[in-house]
Amino acid sequence: MAKVSVAWGQYCLPTYNSQCTSGDFVNNVTFNTISNLGTGCGNPSANNFTDYTAISTNVTQNTSYNISVTPGPSWGQYFVAFIDLNNDLDFADPGEFFNIGYAAAGVTINAPILIPNGISGGPTRMRVMCRYSTGALTAADYCTTGLSFGEVEDYTLNIASPLTDDAGISAFVTPT
């Protein structure tokens, strides 16, 4: 019998014109039990991408969680998050984009993220992305090229399987 190996797809990455050593980076991320603080510029390159997928948290469907992000001390950043809710190796589907907003240098900003009900459970990817600018990043920016300054960090979310509405009740009996 021949051995077959399957190569899984990869998430695409945006590109930046400048490395995050310029001081434009994600310095802190907290989301549920994820607390990744003081990371600075993790991997200066064209992608300014740091793979933190070994850091994970468990989340439940139909539950809102607060995300907190802080830019480095030098420059303000615009922040967004993406979650691959259907595990199709992209962040292009409706509902996978979460606008966090602008944070001044060294200032923490918070936003709620609702994990929707009715999605498949299991591990998936959450991306946190920043760009030097007060102008908003959009859902289309998850793989855009030529951003000026910023950084991208990926994490793992373990989404609990959907709950069923079946409580096991087969009949209602009215007392006589």
Averaged pLDDT, 2-9: 39
Domain, as residue range, for 69: 21-159
Structure-block tokens of residue 145: 């090229």
Answer whether residue 176 is part of any domain: no
The pTM is what? 0.87
Q: What is the pLDDT of residues 92-124, one digit of tens each?
A: 999 999 999 999 999 999 999 999 999 989 999
Q: Which residue has the higher pLDDT, 13 or 176?
A: 13
Answer whether residue 57 is part of any domain: yes
Q: What is the pLDDT of residues 68-100, one digit of tens each?
A: 999 999 999 999 999 999 999 999 999 999 999
Counting the structural domains of the chain, the total is 1
Answer whether residue 174 is part of any domain: no
Q: Cα 56 vs. chain centroid, distance in angstroms? A: 11
Mean confidence (pLDDT) of the chain? 89
Euclidean distance between CA atoms 120 and 98, whole angstroms: 19
pLDDT beyond 70 at 151: yes
pLDDT beyond 70 at 52: yes
- Residue 167: the pLDDT is 58
Question: Domain holding 114: CATH number?
Answer: 2.60.40
Return the number of other C-beta atoms located less than 10 Å from residue 68's C-beta: 17
Which is nearest to 99 in space by CA: 36, 60, 142, 149?
A: 142
What ranges in the chain are assigned the alpha helix state H? Answer: none
Euclidean distance between CA atoms 36 and 29, whole angstroms: 5
How far are the Cα atoms of 111, 113, 115, 138 from residue 107, in angstroms, in the given order? 14, 19, 25, 21
Answer whether residue 123 is part of any domain: yes
Answer whether residue 140 is part of any domain: yes
Which is nearest to 76 in space by CA: 128, 37, 23, 127?
A: 23
Answer whether residue 87 is part of any domain: yes
pLDDT beyond 80 at 173: no
Answer whether residue 166 is part of any domain: no
Dihedral pair phi/psi, residue 54, rounded to 5°: -75, -15
pLDDT-derived band of residue 14, with 50, 70 and 90 as boundaries? very high
Answer whether residue 91 is part of any domain: yes
Are residues 31 and 67 in contact, defined by beta-carbon separation less than 8 angstroms? yes
Q: Which residue has the higher pLDDT, 162 or 122?
A: 122
